[in-house]
A and B are shown apart, each in its own frame.
Chain A
Amino acid sequence: MEPSQLARFEAATLPHLDAAYTLARHLTLNQHDADDVVQEAFLRALKYFGGYRGGDARAWLLAIVRNTSRSWLRRERGDAGVVEFDEALHSEAIDDQHPEAEVLRAVDRERVREAVDQLPLEFREVIVLRELQGLSYKEIGEISGIPVGTVMSRLSRARRRLEGALGAGKGGLP
Chain B
Amino acid sequence: MWRPSGIFNVRYEQDRSVIRTRAQWTALAVFLFLVAMAPFFFANNYLLSILILTIITIISLQGLNFILGMCGQISVGHSAFMAIGAYSTTIFMERLGFPFILSLPCAGLSAALIGMIFGMPSLRVKGFYLALATLAAQHLIHWGLLNGGELTGNIYGLSVPPASIGGFVLDTDRSYFIFCMLMLLLMCYFGKNLERSKIGRAFVAVRDNDLAAEIMGINIFRYKLLAFSIGSFYAGIAGALWAHYLLQIHPSHFTMMDSIWYLGFLVVGGLGSAMGPIFGGIMYIGLKEVVALITPSLGSLFPSISTNIFSGLALIFYALVVIIFLLFEPRGVNRQFNLLKSYYRLWPFAY
Q: Do A and B bind each other?
A: no
Interface residues of B (CB under 8 A from A): none
